[in-house]
Amino acid sequence: MRLPLVTAVTLGLLSGSAQAVNVYSDNGTDLSIFGRFEGGFYNRAANETRDHNQKSGASVEGEARIGVSASTTLVTNIKGIAFGEWEVASESSENGHFNTRYAYTGFDLCQYGTLVFGQGDTAKYITVGMTDVFEHYGNTSNSYWELGGRQEGQIMYVNAVGGYTLGFSYQTPRSGMAEHLNHDTRVKQDLDVNAGYAVALAYNWQDGPAESLAFSLAYDWYDFHQSPAGDRHSFSSGISYGHLNDGLYTAFVYSRDKYQREDHHMSGYEGVLGYTMENGLGFTAGYGYYGYENNRREVSEITGQVAYHFTPAFMAYAEGRFGLGRVDYPAEENHQHEAYMINLQYNF
Distance from C-alpha of 97 to C-alpha of 80, rounded to nearest angstrom: 30
For the chain, percent of residues with pLDDT exceeding 70:
87
How many Å apart are CA 345 and CA 170, to the nearest integer? Answer: 34
CA-derived radius of gyration, the chain: 20
Q: Give the separation between CA 137 and CA 270, rounded to whole angstroms.
A: 12
Could you write out the three-class secondary structure of 160-207? EECCEEEEEEEECCEEEEEEEECCCCCCEEEEEEEEEEEEEEEEECCC
Q: How confident is the model at residue 157 (pLDDT cuts 50, 70, 90)?
A: very high
pLDDT in tens, 286-329: 999 998 876 677 888 999 999 999 999 999 999 999 988 777 66
> What pLDDT score does 136 carry?
92
Amino acid at 340: Y
Q: What is the mean pLDDT of residues 62-74?
A: 94
Backbone angles phi, psi at 347, to 5 degrees: -115, 145
Which residues face 309 on adjacent strands? 315
Asked whether the beta carbons of 309 and 99 are under 8 A apart, the reply is no
Peptide bond into 312 cis (omega under 30): no
pLDDT recorded at residue 45: 85
For 4-26, letters b (16+ CB in 10 Å) and e give bbbbbbbeebbebbeebeeeeee
pLDDT of 336 higher than 90: no
Q: Considering the chain, what percentage of its residues have pLDDT values greater than 90?
A: 59
Cα 94 to the chain's mean position, in Å?
22
* CA–CA gap between residue 72 and residue 238 (Å, rounded): 35
Torsional class of 179: left (φ above 0), alpha (ψ -120 to 50), beta (otherwise): beta
Domains of the chain, each with CATH number or no CATH? 42-62+111-347 (2.40.160.10)
- What is the rounded average pLDDT for all residues in the chain? 87
Distance, in Å, from the CA atom of 198 to the CA atom of 169, rounded to the nearest integer, reads 5
Q: pLDDT tens, 261-281?
A: 888 888 999 999 999 999 999
CA distance 84 to 229: 34
- What is the model's pLDDT at position 309? 96
CA 227 to chain centre: 26
Question: For residue 229, what pLDDT band results from cuts at 50, 70 and 90?
Answer: confident
The predicted pLDDT at position 294 comes to: 61
pLDDT in tens, 118-136: 999 999 999 999 999 999 9
| pLDDT reading at 137 higher than 60 | yes
Helix (H) or strand (E) holding 273: strand 266-276
